[in-house]
A = this chain, B = another copy of it.
């Protein structure tokens, strides 16, 4: 089943207004969820929305709380998210980082006490749409075992790097595990083997069996020790700069996951790069990587598939899980 973008946006906004969110904030919050489904990241769009509402109902997310600047020194600022809606907080901080970049060339905003930002790529697209390079990441609860450890002790912290490009932004949005928990569930439900090893089975062996990895919770960090180290470094920078919590201090219960720390860096490309030259350069980089390819596999640049999905979903409507959609429509009613 597919629903038009506008209908999805309106429905989500209605639910948020019912929960007491002020209309302009409900509009933006709903739009960011709807755009996430529109762009094909279904796990963090509509499908995630019911959990977001439960977190509001549990009091973990405060619909009225707004992020605010608590310390500033020219191009760097520290913001407190006050446990407000994670996507609104993150959007406000990337917006501020972009404004700082316009003034100083580069800007950095570190955010504490915030909630899950949903799709990290959202803030990369936001920066690139504004003509800025955007680099951002979040920490999260301990949901990934560091290399050599049996238990989750680092966060599966996504890193986003976005570069504005007239023909389509380059937007990398990558978490530290080879497969997300959501992807594992989908493979397990289909009974399909992962294309490459995604974690460890009960015998401590690397495995392509998604169900086995779900049981052990031992997801594989990308690059083994490398992804593990990168996750730790991102957590450390986010917590130190924001003055907020590190993964070690974040509740391990997903529906209580709160008090996250995030970093938003924006760089104003127009201060240094001549736009036409930058655009031609990015086109050349992409063309170079895309040929020759092996057999029918075409090398894609980060963000390419997102644009394809976005175009199709805007034309044909956004695919929704009927049960979840029915549930959300009822909440709006």
Contacts and interface: CB of A to CB of B under 8 A. Distances in A.
Interface of A: 71, 73-76, 78, 103-108, 110, 133, 142, 146-151, 153-154, 159, 161, 163, 170, 172, 174, 178, 196, 204, 206, 222-224, 226-230, 232-237, 239-243, 246-249, 265, 267-269, 271-274, 277-278, 281-282, 284-289, 292-294, 297-299, 301-302
A163 B273 CA distance: 29
Q: How many copies does the complex hold?
A: 2
B269 A241 contact: yes
Given A174-B230, A229-B302, A161 B284 contact: no
Nearest to A177: B223
A110 B269 CA distance: 11
6 contacts: A73-B272, A76-B268, A76-B272, A146-B289, A223-B223, A243-B272
Contacts of A267: 76, 108, 237, 241
> Which residue, A147, A277, A281, A298, has most C-beta atoms of chain B within 10 A?
A281
B293 A149 contact: yes
B233 A104 contact: no
Contact of A71 (B153, B243, B272): B272
Contact of A239 (B227, B233, B281): B281
Contacts of A273: 240-241, 243
B289 A153 contact: yes
For the complex of A and B, the 5 pairs showing the least CB-CB separation, nearest first, are A222-B223, A76-B105, A248-B288, A148-B297, A229-B302
A229 B288 CA distance: 14
A105 B222 CA distance: 32
Given A71-B272, A106-B75, A163-B240, A285 B235 contact: yes
A270 to B, nearest CB: 9
Most buried by B among A172, A206, A229, A282: A229
Contact of A226 (B73, B146, B150, B222): B222
A265 B285 CA distance: 23
A73 B170 CA distance: 24
A246 B281 contact: yes
B289 A161 contact: no
Given A226-B222, A232-B301, A76 B237 contact: no
B272 A163 contact: no
Given A222-B222, A267-B76, A302-B232, A292 B105 contact: no
A240 B281 contact: yes
A283 B125 CA distance: 35
Nearest to A72: B105
Given A163-B237, A174-B229, A247-B288, 14 more contacts: A73-B272, A74-B75, A110-B272, A133-B240, A142-B288, A149-B289, A153-B289, A163-B233, A163-B236, A222-B223, A223-B223, A232-B286, A241-B269, A248-B285
